[in-house]
Structures are given as C-alpha cells and as structure tokens.
Structure 1
C-alpha cells in the first residue's frame, strides 16, 4: 500500500508540474508582447487574407500618402502610448480606432481609412499597450486598454475642442476595448461606438480557443493564468467583461460580426448585443470569418456605417 501511495504521489506531482509548465507556456505566448506573434494570430483567424491583398495594398498606399503625424500620451500607470493622427479635412468629426490582438493601428485600418477620410473624418489610429510603438510588456485585452482609450478621447477633444463629434471603432481585441469603454462615463463628445468581432472577455475567448483549437480543457489552466496575470499585469482575465459592461452603455452601438468566425464565435457578439442597454443595431456578415466582414461585404459594411453615423452626427 505504501508503494502504491508513493507511486500515486509521484504521478500527481508529475501531472501538477506538467500543468504548471503548460500554463506558463500558454501565458508567455499569449500575454507577453514579444511572444505573442502576429503570424500565429493570422493563422488562427482561419481567413484567406491573400485574396484581399490587392485591395489592402491599394488602400494602405493611399493612406500613407495622406498628411499624418505620430502622437503620444502617457497612461495612468506610466506607459508611453503611441498613435498615428490623420487631420483629414480638420472638421469636428473624428474616429478613434482600436486594433486587434498582435496588430497595430496602421495595419488594421489601412482599408477603412479610405471610408473615414473620404467622409470628412479625422482619424486617430491607436497602438494599444504592448503593441506597435506603444510601451508595455503585458497585453491589456481591453481591460487596461479601455482606460488608455479614455486618455485618447481626452486628447482628441483637446485637439478639436468641445464641439468634437467622436466615434470609437474597434475590431477584435479593439472591439472588446470599445465595448468596455461603453460602460464608462464617456464625455458627451463621444457620439457612438462601432464594435467589430469583439470577444466578451479574455477568459472566455481563451477558454474557447483552448477547447476548439488545442482540444484541451481550460481548467485549471485559465484559473492559474488568471492569478499569474493579476500579479504581473494587474488585472484578472474576467475583471472586465464586454457583455457586462455594455449593460451600462448610454451611447449608440453598431455591432458587426462575421457569421463564420471560428476564432471569436458569433455567439459572443449576440451576447454583447443582447446585454447592450443603449440604442443598438447589428450587422452579421454572411460567410465572413474573423475580422473579414469589411472585405467580404464592403458595400454592406459601409452602408451600415452610413446609416449609423447619419443618425448620431451632424
């Protein structure tokens, strides 16, 4: 019996060590900036992006030719954060854009810049913390970025004045960021929010990815990662949940999601939409994968923006 108990203890110890090692590996490659790779994110999206390269290159080339400048702010916890500002026609309308996981502002909004700049908007393309040229070691997954986002809103109001009409537009992690901002006490200059393929929370999207793509149980890996992240990055993986935050929303929302999104399933959009307390509308793009909606149905996407913006801005 003693040998059996000793053998069982050895097996349990080995299993615990393997679990801890697996969690550490998952955490390092997911939450730390230099281990979270854009190539891996693109692959996990499941979208054939090469088919859209001609449009992307044309639009991004055009955007690069428009007047723009680097701008900087400091976060509440002392990080130097970067954005790229396009003054456009220097009117009162402005859009602040928040990119997806492992990306940066200039990468995600090269194509949509065509729409916004040609519709008279100023644009601010934010590099979220631990991305692009912004400082930070640990990725914020919306929880920390929503606080940074409020700083960027104040920067834009300072640039335009009290008559500013500001739209927040985010995709994927950026979509979660603007949804979470929707639950905050936004200044009256923020007129509306566009959320494209947002996840509900870091905890829920990680759980989905572990189940659907890695075919491993989320427990206890998520719970260990949650405690680790609280210690290192200052927030828990479900401290801020987009589906909960929008219950406090007061500004209008446009929700967009791809019907065949396997990375961030469409059911997350449905949950956020259902919980949203403010005026809201929704566009589910048929056959679109993660972040693909604008390219799969450019006309429908822009028409939805036309209607939404026409109802909230002069």
Structure 2
C-alpha cells in the first residue's frame, strides 16, 4: 500500500472516528429520550439533597392550587403543553421556561408560590421535546424562542390586551428567554428574568467537551452542527443570546451562581455586557447550576420584586387611572 496509502487510511479512520464521536454526542444531547435528566444533574454537579424537602413541600402546595392544562400548536406543528395557574382579577402574568432535560413544574414549583403571592397568573411551559410537549429534537432556545412568542400570544389573548407579561427562564429556559427578547414582542411584555442562561448551544457544548470530557471541540462541534441543521432544523450556532440581547427592548434581570461549573458564570457577564436595554445583574456567591434561588432566596426574590416594581403597574393604580380618564370622558 505504501506510505501514502497508509496515511490516507489513517486519515480516513480518524475522520470516521471523529464522525462517530460527533454522532454519539449529538444523539446524547439533542435527541429526546437519549438526553437524560439524571445525567444532566450529575454533570451539573449541584447538591440538591438539602433542598429536596422544601421542593417537595412546594410541589404539594402548588398541586392544591387551581390549574389547567393548556395546549398550543407550534409553527412546525408540534403540540406544546403548559400548565396555567389563574389569579382571578389580576392582569399580570409570568411565563416560565425550564432547564435542559427538565420540565416546567419541576423547575418552577418553588418560585411559583412567590409569583402567585405577588398576584401573577402563572403559565409554566414544557418546552418542545420535554415533559408533555411533543418533539424529537431539543431546541436549546433557538427553536423554543419561536414557541415562546406563541405562548405570549396565548396569554395576551386569554387575559386581554391590557395585561402585563413577564418572562422567567432557568438554564436552557434562561437562554430561551434571552433569545426571545431579540424578537419583535408585543407591548404587553414588560420584563424578563434569566437565571443561569447560556449564550448558545455551540458555546456551552464546547465548554462541556473541554471541561468534562477533556476533548477538543474541533471538529466534533462542526460535525454535530451539520447534523443538527440536517436533522433538527437549526444550527447549534444559529442563535446566540449574546447577540439577541443587543436587540432587547425590555428590562432584563440576569441571575447566576458564581460556582456554576455547567454553564460558567463568565457567560452571564458576557450577556449582561452585551445587553442594550435596562438591565440588572445578581450573582449569588457559592451557588452552583440552577441553585441560586435556593442558595439565597431572599436576595433572589428581592431582585425580582424590584424588577416587578419598576416594570409592572399595580392593578389598583391601573384601574384608578382608567376610571379617572373615563370620568373626564377620555
């Protein structure tokens, strides 16, 4: 065969190996059923043991509240599921987006109580390919931002044109929210909260390959990106939240834990720095991935409360203003 033939053979074997690794990586991370919650939790490294009793109590409390299963259809024909918790007489609502391999009621059972007690209608979404929503491929915010816009339209139609809407996302849901802020949104959307959101699927996957698998991203990411474009309908680098927040027109509260080893805290500084709208940053000391709310509940709720105070009008004030205008014939 000779030296040249041997070199070609080794190159072909190497390319086949890289393709195989990329295929394995793509299917483990993007395809529903192969992406496991237990593996994600292990990789994230957050110690949830101390919080489990409180989370269970919150889930039990929430299960006793009036709620309704809601379904909408995505632009590409998927049946998407959400759980709606009404707050009668209120025109304020928050739409919540969960993290990778999780589901709405799992990630938002605790903070749901905070929002309900603040007088918010609550829409807790199962993102595509998660929970009771259809879908084969996980969207990593790129596809989910289009679904988010449909959920916004649903809430406005349900509560009326005078409603006030907030968005709140955790991890992949945080990225979804940030990517959504770059879209043209209706005026009813007043503010957003992103908790440990990442910049893009490409960048967080590259970080995971280097930090956890000790593998160079090139050429695995390039091959996986082609697979995503061909099979899932989007590129892993197609949408970057760092670019989308440059177009944001609503205030954004960025939250992250400085001990996050899954979505590095450096990403929140990139996102905060790129944001062109009103913005606040809360970094929770010692909080691992998605742990910020539990690590320092008071600081977290205070920051969200202040955001609400700056962006959401109290129901009574709005009604009083409308009544006085009506009396003047306006």
Instruction: Report the TM-score, using the length of structure 2 for normalisation.
Output: 0.94
Does residue 1:159 correspond to 2:158, yes or no? yes
Q: Could you tell me whether the CA contact under 8 Å between 1:92 and 1:160 is conserved in 2? A: yes
Does residue 1:73 correspond to 2:72, yes or no? yes
SS state of the match for residue 49, structure 1? coil
Does residue 1:12 correspond to 2:2, yes or no? no
User: What is the distance in 2 between the residues matched to 1:21 and 1:191?
Assistant: 45
Deviations 1:172-199, CA, capped at 9 Å, x for gaps? 0000000001111110100100000000
Does residue 1:282 correspond to 2:286, yes or no? no
User: What is the distance in 1 between the residues matched to 2:183 and 2:265?
Assistant: 24
User: What is the distance in 2 between the residues matched to 1:112 and 1:65?
Assistant: 15
Structure 1 residue 12 displacement after superposition:
1.4
Stretches of structure 1 lacking an aligned partner (at least 5 in a row): none
SS state of the match for residue 111, structure 1? helix
User: What is the distance in 1 between the residues matched to 2:40 and 2:63?
Assistant: 24
Name the residue aligned to 1:49. Answer: 48
Name the residue aligned to 2:92. Answer: 93
Q: Could you tell me whether the CA contact under 8 Å between 1:164 and 1:189 is conserved in 2? A: yes
Stretches of structure 2 lacking an aligned partner (at least 5 in a row): 314-330
Q: Could you tell me whether the CA contact under 8 Å between 1:167 and 1:193 is conserved in 2? A: yes
Deviations 1:293-312, CA, capped at 9 Å, x for gaps? 00000011011111111110
Structure 1 residue 89 displacement after superposition:
3.4
RMSD: 0.8
Name the residue aligned to 1:257. Answer: 256
Deviations 1:120-163, CA, capped at 9 Å, x for gaps? 11100100000001111011000000000000000000110011
Name the residue aligned to 2:267. Answer: 268
Structure 1 residue 80 displacement after superposition:
0.6
Q: Could you tell me whether the CA contact under 8 Å between 1:90 and 1:121 is conserved in 2? A: no
User: What is the distance in 1 between the residues matched to 2:246 and 2:89?
Assistant: 34
Name the residue aligned to 2:222. Answer: 223
Name the residue aligned to 1:204. Answer: 203
Q: How many residues align?
A: 313
SS state of the match for residue 237, structure 2? coil
Q: Could you tell me whether the CA contact under 8 Å between 1:243 and 1:275 is conserved in 2? A: yes
User: What is the distance in 2 between the residues matched to 1:88 and 1:15?
Assistant: 59
Does residue 1:129 correspond to 2:128, yes or no? yes
User: What is the distance in 2 between the residues matched to 1:183 and 1:9?
Assistant: 46
User: What is the distance in 1 between the residues matched to 2:60 and 2:43?
Assistant: 26
Name the residue aligned to 2:180. Answer: 181
Q: Could you tell me whether the CA contact under 8 Å between 1:90 and 1:122 is conserved in 2? A: no
Highest Rg: 1 or 2? Answer: 2
Deviating more after overlay: 8-17 vs 284-293: 8-17
SS state of the match for residue 51, structure 1? coil
Q: Could you tell me whether the CA contact under 8 Å between 1:142 and 1:176 is conserved in 2? A: yes
Deviating more after overlay: 8-17 vs 292-301: 8-17
Name the residue aligned to 2:238. Answer: 239
Instruction: Report the TM-score, using the length of structure 1 for normalisation.
Output: 0.98
Name the residue aligned to 2:320. Answer: none
SS state of the match for residue 50, structure 1? coil
Name the residue aligned to 1:144. Answer: 143
Does residue 1:117 correspond to 2:116, yes or no? yes
Q: Cα gap change, 1:250/1:9 in structure 2, threshold over 3 Å: closer, same or farther?
A: same
Name the residue aligned to 1:172. Answer: 171
Name the residue aligned to 2:189. Answer: 190
